Amino acid sequence: MQLLRSGGTEKDRDYRWYRLAFIAAVVLFILLAPEVNNGNYMDPTIKDGQVLLTSKTSFTENRGMPERGQLVLLKKPFSQDAGAKDNIITRVIGLPGDTVEITEGKVLVNDEEYVTPGGIKGCGDEVAKVKIKKNQVFVLCDNRNTKQKLDSRNEKIGVMSSKQIKGKILLRVWTPGRLK
């Protein structure tokens, strides 16, 4: 067989792109994962059945904490203990060192009203002022009127360890049947 100038045989060169694609797929599978939102607890930001691309990022004080307003995915065993059927997608509201309180229909972070980047504010529940400690976060769903509270208002979640976060939401994708 004739050797090519670039090195290797013609057959090797033909399969080079397949090898690169396979390696890229493996790396992406290790770092990224698709997730489907089940439920309306993140309406209007994320709809039921919407597909999300998540990073498999764990958070700690040493490895970095999520940002305020960041959408995150909670670990499945933790989510199920809180009453969810699957993973919970929620928004980080309070970070270490913050105080969070829900009173008189307002969500207060460090004594100032918190409004999400999408303009969602307020909450009908009451939560006494709490100080967020190292490696902890306070999370709230965007649809705060649902009966099932799958966020820090739920006593089984509460102010939670950042280690219970499975990853962060990188991209929201509409499935073809949902484009209407």
pLDDT (0 to 100) of residue 143: 93
Give the three-state DSSP class for 73.
strand
For every one of its 180 residues, what pLDDT tens digit does the chain have, with 9 covering 90 and above? 444 455 556 666 667 888 888 888 887 778 888 888 888 889 999 988 899 989 887 776 677 889 999 999 998 888 888 888 888 999 999 999 999 999 999 999 999 999 998 899 999 899 999 999 999 999 999 999 888 889 999 999 999 999 999 989 998 886 655 544
- Kindly give the residue spans of alpha helices, DSSP state H, lying in 64-128: 76-81
pLDDT (0 to 100) of residue 13: 66
Q: How far is Cα 43 from Cα 24, in angstroms, rounded to an integer?
A: 33
Tokens of 85: 């059927």
What is the Cα 37 distance to its own chain's centre?
11
Instruction: Say if CB 137 and CB 125 are below 8 A apart.
Output: no
